[in-house]
Structure 1
Amino acid sequence: MSDYLKKGFLLGLGAAVSGKEKLSLKLKELVDKNELTQEQAKTVMQNFVDKGAMKKDEWNSKNYEQMSKMAKDNGIATKEDINELRARLTELEEKLDEKLNQPN
């Protein structure tokens, strides 16, 4: 991962942690004031965590797509490219072995 992307990811992670802590404090305050039940506070917090996980997955997917596009644009082989070449090489080796081992 490039240094720029890594710094952006860490910044986002820090904001998420800070946001979670602030939300937790606010929810505790609302429960203490009887404006929310403990169960409602747990639901709100779980929704926040779930949304964060969903965004993380979305970010990872977009990051993967962007890195794959950059690799393709710069002529760099991806893992998929290498695996495809390995499969083709194995197939060719098997065909060659068959030809060499055929009786004349």
Structure 2
Amino acid sequence: RAAVERERVLLDDKAAEVKANSLEVAKIATRLAEKEDLLHVEAARADELRRRVALAEGRLESVVGKSGGVRDVGGGFGTEGPPACLAWRAAEEAMLHALTTE
């Protein structure tokens, strides 16, 4: 009878250990799912930044005059109208920096 009771206590201890391990696995799985969600969000953000960089590069190419002079996106020279090519380059560099540091 004492042996049966010891066996029952051992089984109860094992069951408690399995339950604790199952809870730990569930916590890890939850954290993994949260990290995967964050990864998807960051991947979408990186895709958007790449798209913006590509757009900025396209605009940069389209606004450099044949003489090599820098024109505003709006076609003027100087500070009137939309940002000048140099501003696009600065934005592109900032986006590339963000892509490589995050």
TM-score range, shorter chain: 0.3 to 0.5
TM-score, normalization: structure 1?
0.37
The answer to which structure, 1 or 2, has the higher relative contact order (CA under 8 A, 6+ apart) is 2
Instruction: Name which one, 1 or 2, has greater alpha-carbon Rg.
Output: 2
